[in-house]
Structure 1
C-alpha cells in the first residue's frame, strides 16, 4: 500500500463519518428553527451543550482515545489477544460511565441548566427535553466505543456505515414528526425522541458488526473477562485526555453561560455560527484520530521514523481541507447563515455572519493543534495535551471572554477573536511538544 494511501484510507472514512454527524446536527437545528423558531434553537443548544459535554469529556475524548491509543499499539505489535482484551475492557468501562451520565442528567440536569442561565419556561422545557436526550446518548456512547475499537483495528468504514444509518433515521423521523404528524402543534420533545430512535438503530448495527467480525476481535465470545489491570491502563491514558476535553468543554460551557447572560440574540448568533463552523472541525478531528491510530501502530512496530512521517502527512491533509473552509467562511458567511434564520431574525443573522468570518482565521490553527495532539496521544502521552488545554482554556480564553464580554460589554465578535488566539497558542505548543517527544524517541533508539 502507498504510504500516502495508508493515511487517507484510515482518515477519509472518519472524515465522512463526521460529515454525516455534523450535517445531521445542522439539519436538526435548521428543521427545528423552521418548525418552532428561535426559542426552540436555544432549547436544543442548551440541552446539547449540557449532555454532550459529559459525553465528550468522559467518552469521546476520554475512554475512546485511551482505547485507540492502546489497541492500535497492540495491533501494530500483532498481539491479537491484548488488543481484544483492551477492546472488551474499554467497552465495559464505557457502559458503566454511560449509566452514570444518564443518571446524572436525570438527577442534576435542572441545576446544571439553571447554572447555565436557563430560567422559567426555558428551564422547564429544556430539562424535560434533556432527559430524553440523555437516554439517547446512552446508546450513542456504547456505539461510539465499539466504533473506537473498529478504528483502532483500521476498520474505519464501519463507523461510517453506522453514522449513515443514524442520519437517515434521524432526518426521516424529524420530517415525519415536525411537518406531518405535529405540523399544527409544536412539541419540542419529538426531536429528542427521533434522536433516541436513530441512536438505537446505530447501536443495533454496531452489535451486528461485532458479531460478524468476532473471529477477528475475540469480543463477546466468552473468552475474555474483565481485567482490573487492563481497566487501570485504559483509565490511566483516558483521564488526561478526558481532562483535556474538560478544560476546553467546561470553559466553553462557562463562556456559553456568559453569552447567555449577555442576551438571547448573542446566544443565538453564537450557536448558529458554532454549528456552521463545526463542519470545518471534521478534517482536523478526523486526522487527529487517524494520527493517534497510525502513530500507535508505528510505535507498536517500533518504527519511530514512520511515526514522524504519518503525523506530518495527517497535518498536511488537515491543513489543506481546513484552509478551504477558511476561504468559505471568509467570503460566504452570510450565505451560510441565512439557512438557519427566519426573515425576522436579521440582527442574529448579521452577528452570526461576522462571527463566522472571524472563525476563518482559526481553521489552520485548529488543524495543527488537533493533529499533533493526536500524535502525542498515539505516543502514549495524553498528559501533555491536557496541560496545554488547561493553560489555553482557563488562563487565556475564559478570563479574556469574561473581561471583554461581561465587564466591557463588547460584541459577541470579541469571543471569536479570543478563541482564535487560544487555538493559535494551543497549536504552537502541541507541535513543539510532539517534535520534542519524537527527538527523545529517536535518540533513545
Structure 2
C-alpha cells in the first residue's frame, strides 16, 4: 500500500481528487466559451455585442448568489472532510441536510423572487445599457429561475467533494453541459424546427440543463450505495454544533464573497462606462480568463478536501504537504495556459467576434492575463487549503483588501482619471492578484491555520 506521507503518495491523492474536478471545470468552461462564441456570431455586430453583454450582466448576479451558496458550502466541505478524517461518518448525512435546507430557504428562494421581480432595474444597476436590457431581460429572468436548481446542485456537489467523491459531480456536470451546448445550438439559431431565439434561447437551454442536473444529483444521493446517502424517512433535527460550525466557517466566507462580488460590481460599473463594445470585449476576456481559473479551482478544491481530512485525522504535517503539492501542480498547468494566452490571444479572441476593434483589444488583454496566471493560481489553491482548515477570516481580509479596495481604486484611477481604457482596468486586476498572492501565502507560512477547531 502506498505511503500517504511519501511524495508519491501525496501526489497520487492530490491527482485522484483534483483530476475529476479539473476535467469537470475545464469542460464546463469550454462549453461556456462555445455558448459565448455562438452568441457572438448571432446577428449583426450590435446584436451580438448586446447579447454577450446581457450574459455578462446576468452572470454578475448569478455569481453573487452562487458565491453566497459557495460560502456555506465551504463550511459543509470542511466539516464533512474533518468528520471523514476523524472516522465520524455518521455526522455527514445531517450536514448535507442542513446545507441543502439553509441554502434553499435563506438564499436561493429570496434571490430568485427579488431578481425576477426587479429584473430591468437590477440590470441597469449592474451597468447595462438600454440595448442590453431590451435584448437580455427575458434571458435574465430565465437564468435566475434556473438558479434555484443551480444552487441546490452546488450544495450537493460540495458535500460529495467533502467525502472525496469528485467523480460523480464531474460526470453529471459534463453530461448536462454537453446537453446545454446542444440546446443552445438549437434554440439560439433556430434548428430542428425551433424558432431562432438568440440570447433567450441560450437562457432556456441553460436553465433546463440545471433542472436535469438536479434530478440526476437527487437520484444519486437517495441511492443506498452512494458515497453520501440521504434517508428521507429519517426525521430531520436541527443540530447546534453543525449550525455553529456553519456560522463559524460560513459567515467569514460569506462576507469574503460579498466583498468580492461588491468589488467586482463596482469594477464592472467602471468598465461598463466605456460603452457596450468595450464591455463585450471585457466579457470575452473574462470568459477566456475563466478557462485559466480551472487549475486553481480544481487543485484548490483538492487542497480543501485533503486539508480538512488530514486535520480531522490529527495530521497537520500531511495537510501542509497536500497544500504545497496542490500549489506546485496547479501552477505548472496555469503556466502552460499563460504561454498559450500570450502568444495566441488574438486568435482565441477572433473566435468570439468578427469586430476588429474587439479582437485587437481582447488580444492585448490576454497578454496581461498571461502575467496574472502564476499569482492567480497559487492564491486560489493556498486559499482553498486555508478554507478546508476552516480558516476563513484571513481569506476574507485578503479578498477585502485586494478586490474591494485595491482593484476598484486602481481601476478608477487608470480608467476614469488617466484614461487608459480597458487595458488599465485589467492592469488593476493584475496588481490585485499579486497583493492577494502575497497575503494568503504569508498566512500559510505562519501555520496558524492548523489549529482551527471544529465541533
Residue 426 of structure 2, aligned match among 400, 416, 425: 416
Residue 22 of structure 1, aligned match among 10, 29, 37: 29
Query: What is the CA-CA distance between 1:231 and the residue it aligns to?
Result: 2.7
Query: What is the CA-CA distance between 1:185 and the residue it aligns to?
Result: 4.5
Distance 1:299 1:156, change over 3 A: same
Residue 85 of structure 1, aligned match among 90, 94, 106: 94
Partner of 2:40: 33
Preserved contact between residue 10 and residue 321 of structure 2 (Cα < 8 Å):
no
Report the Cα distance in structure 1 between the residues aligned to 2:217 and 2:300, rounded to whole angstroms.
Answer: 23
Report the Cα distance in structure 2 between the residues aligned to 1:215 and 1:336, rounded to whole angstroms.
Answer: 41
The TM-score with structure 1 as length reference comes to 0.94
Distance 1:281 1:439, change over 3 A: closer
Report the Cα distance in structure 2 between the residues aligned to 1:439 and 1:245, rounded to whole angstroms.
Answer: 20
Distance 1:423 1:216, change over 3 A: closer
Partner of 1:212: 223
Partner of 1:112: 122
Whether 1:234 and 2:246 are equivalent positions in the alignment is yes
Distance 1:433 1:182, change over 3 A: farther
Report the Cα distance in structure 2 between the residues aligned to 1:380 and 1:145, rounded to whole angstroms.
Answer: 17
Query: What is the CA-CA distance between 1:79 and the residue it aligns to?
Result: 0.3
Listed one character per residue, the Cα deviations across residues 334-371 of structure 1 (whole Å, up to 9, x for unaligned) are 111110002xx101110001001111011110111111
5+ unaligned residues in a row in structure 1: which ranges?
A: none
Whether 1:302 and 2:314 are equivalent positions in the alignment is yes
Residue 74 of structure 1, aligned match among 79, 83, 88: 83
5+ unaligned residues in a row in structure 2: which ranges?
A: 3-8
Report the Cα distance in structure 1 between the residues aligned to 2:142 and 2:304, rounded to whole angstroms.
Answer: 33
Residue 436 of structure 2, aligned match among 422, 426, 436: 426
Partner of 2:274: 262
Query: What is the CA-CA distance between 1:107 and the residue it aligns to?
Result: 2.5
Which deviates further from its counterpart, 45-54 or 375-384? Answer: 45-54
Distance 1:31 1:183, change over 3 A: farther
Residue 347 of structure 1, aligned match among 344, 357, 370: 357
Partner of 2:11: 4
Preserved contact between residue 42 and residue 198 of structure 2 (Cα < 8 Å):
no
Partner of 2:162: 152
Which deviates further from its counterpart, 330-339 or 101-110? Answer: 101-110
The TM-score with structure 2 as length reference comes to 0.92
Report the Cα distance in structure 1 between the residues aligned to 2:229 and 2:338, rounded to whole angstroms.
Answer: 44
Query: What is the CA-CA distance between 1:253 and the residue it aligns to?
Result: 1.6
Residue 375 of structure 2, aligned match among 344, 365, 372: 365
Partner of 1:275: 287
Report the Cα distance in structure 2 between the residues aligned to 1:432 and 1:213, rounded to whole angstroms.
Answer: 44
Which deviates further from its counterpart, 429-438 or 147-156? Answer: 429-438
Q: Secondary structure at the match of 1:360?
A: helix
Report the Cα distance in structure 1 between the residues aligned to 2:96 and 2:195, rounded to whole angstroms.
Answer: 48
Q: What is the RMSD of the two structures over their aligned residues, measured on CA atoms?
A: 1.9
Distance 1:326 1:382, change over 3 A: same
Distance 1:431 1:320, change over 3 A: same
Whether 1:64 and 2:73 are equivalent positions in the alignment is yes
